[in-house]
């Protein structure tokens, strides 16, 4: 999906007049206003929902650092901490992002780069010294013994890790040689895949399967790796848990700001109630941030209390699956838009094409849609290691939350003309021309 996503999104972003707005512009031009707004909403809401996944991880790391299992085992305590993290970060953004931007950079360095390279170093040293592995990698174990839905759902975190190819596409026109764009993106994807595989193997080979926890398993991997070198295991686990939590805090901080910029522009065009089109005196879209915070809080409460009891992994898994379901839905709209472009509007000028052959470009679109649909479908299969009761809870939480997110943009769109009128926006001017209309407008 990385390969097809970068090429197709890069081509659409390179079309004259399509470099701004991302998925909103592409889908709106090819599929109409309602589809464009829905695609933008799903892109925004997936990140909003994904914040819960990140907060579960942060709290899991802090539970190790401070020796407080109650913060992951007790739903009420966990939810209170989530609200402190979420609304604290939103509050910090209200006077501008210059300070918080620097904080995010430091958090990324301390909490992502250093721990990741430290883990890779320890794991390589562990293997070189011939230490025993908890799993054995060979042709019989590298592939699942069965390919049912409860096993395929294991692809969900992998899909989530490498989604987002369309995010960098608007910059393709800024390159001196747009043709190198997919090569650069593929190189980054390969590097990310390699580091992700090594990190996963470091956990799987050093920790027994029944002791792995989704939200903080990586922390214990550090302890298992340093145990043989006379280093304080508890100290290393606490330190790395703290650093990883700090790194993810910085990532959430950027999520509070970045995605809301696009939604703020949509609000000014009348896709949200007029109150969300206003910024504070520092130019920050406070009302949109508050909306995001409310949605995160509601979804967080649903997942945290809905899972009930000591089920941290169930909440984490459900949050991941919901995030992927929404994002792959957006991807399907993007690939459909690309296919419409190839079949109906091949004469629109673009600086970059996914392939010289039109039929190969169509193949990219079809393949991307199929892969997105596959990712979407498998999210609704409960993981194989869950109990029958947990599988029922997983499906109930996932389906109910997804249905609400699915219909919400269509409900909001019914009021688009009314809100646009209140803002003094001419709906005909906001609506982007499509196909040959766009071509004619751009060539005048």
Contacts of range 355-363, beta carbons closer than 8 Å, 24 or more positions apart: 355/7, 361/8, 361/11
pLDDT tens figures, 248-296: 887 777 767 666 777 888 888 899 999 999 888 888 888 999 999 998 8
- Distance between CA atoms of 222 and 117, rounded to whole angstroms? 12
pLDDT of residue 432: 45
**107 band by pLDDT with thresholds 50, 70 and 90:** confident
Q: At what angle do helices 181-206 and 114-128 cross, to 10 degrees?
A: 60
Nearest to 305 by CA among 286, 293, 318, 324: 318
- Distance between CA atoms of 372 and 336, rounded to whole angstroms? 11
The size of the chain, in residues, is 444
Question: Per the structure, how many domains does the chain have?
Answer: 1
Nearest to 52 by CA among 318, 379, 396, 392: 318
Give the CATH number for residue 191. Answer: 1.20.1740.10
Domain that holds residue 227: 2-443
Nearest to 101 by CA among 112, 89, 111, 113: 89
311: pLDDT strictly greater than 70: no
106: pLDDT strictly greater than 80: no
DSSP line for 159-199: HHHH--GGGGGGGGGGSSSGGGHHHHHHHHHHHHHHHHHHH
- Distance between CA atoms of 39 and 436, rounded to whole angstroms? 22
pLDDT of residue 126: 81
pLDDT of residue 271: 92
**433 band by pLDDT with thresholds 50, 70 and 90:** very low
pLDDT tens figures, 316-363: 788 888 888 998 999 999 999 999 999 998 888 888 888 889 899 999
SS3 350: strand
pTM: 0.79
């Amino acid at each position: 999906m990385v390969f097809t996503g970068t090429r197709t999104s890069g081509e659409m972003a390179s079309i004259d007049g399509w470099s701004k707005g991302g998925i909103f512009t592409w889908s709106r031009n090819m599929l109409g206003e309602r589809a464009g707004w829905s695609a933008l909403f799903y892109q925004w809401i997936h990140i909003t929902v994904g914040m819960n996944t990140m907060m579960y991880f942060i709290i899991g790391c802090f539970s190790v650092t401070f020796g407080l299992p109650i913060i992951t085992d007790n739903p009420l305590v966990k939810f209170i901490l989530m609200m402190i993290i979420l609304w604290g970060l939103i509050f910090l953004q209200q006077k501008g992002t210059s300070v918080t931007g620097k904080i995010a950079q430091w958090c990324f360095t301390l909490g992502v780069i250093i721990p990741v390279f430290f883990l890779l170093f320890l794991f390589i040293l562990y293997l070189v010294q011939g230490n025993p592995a908890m799993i054995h990698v060979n042709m019989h174990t590298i592939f699942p013994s069965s390919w049912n839905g409860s096993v395929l759902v294991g692809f969900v975190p992998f899909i989530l890790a490498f989604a987002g190819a369309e995010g960098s596409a608007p910059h393709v026109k800024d390159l001196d040689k747009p043709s190198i764009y997919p090569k650069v993106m593929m190189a980054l994807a390969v590097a990310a895949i390699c580091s992700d595989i090594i990190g996963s193997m470091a956990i799987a080979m050093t920790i027994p399967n029944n002791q792995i926890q989704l939200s903080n398993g990586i922390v214990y991997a550090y302890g298992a790796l340093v145990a043989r070198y006379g280093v304080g295991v508890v100290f290393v686990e606490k330190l790395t848990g703290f650093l990883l939590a700090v790194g993810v805090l910085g990532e959430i901080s950027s999520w509070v700001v970045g995605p809301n910029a696009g939604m703020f522009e949509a609000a000014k065009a009348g896709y949200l109630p007029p109150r969300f089109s206003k910024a504070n005196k520092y130019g920050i879209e406070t009302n949109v941030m508050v909306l995001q915070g409310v949605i995160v809080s509601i979804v967080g409460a649903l997942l945290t209390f809905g899972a009930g009891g000591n089920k941290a992994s169930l909440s984490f898994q459900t949050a991941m699956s919901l995030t992927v379901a929404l994002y792959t839905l957006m991807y399907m709209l993007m690939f459909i838009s690309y296919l419409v472009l190839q079949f109906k509007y091949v004469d629109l000028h673009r600086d970059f094409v996914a392939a010289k052959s039109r039929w190969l470009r169509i193949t990219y679109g079809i393949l991307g849609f199929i892969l997105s649909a596959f990712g979407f479908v498998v999210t609704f299969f409960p993981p194989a290691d869950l109990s029958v009761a947990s599988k029922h809870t997983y499906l109930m939480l996932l389906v109910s939350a997804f249905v609400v997110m699915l219909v919400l943009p269509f409900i909001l769109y019914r009021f688009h003309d009314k809100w646009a009128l209140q803002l003094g926006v001419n709906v005909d001017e906001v609506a982007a021309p499509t196909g040959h209309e766009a071509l004619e407008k751009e060539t005048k």
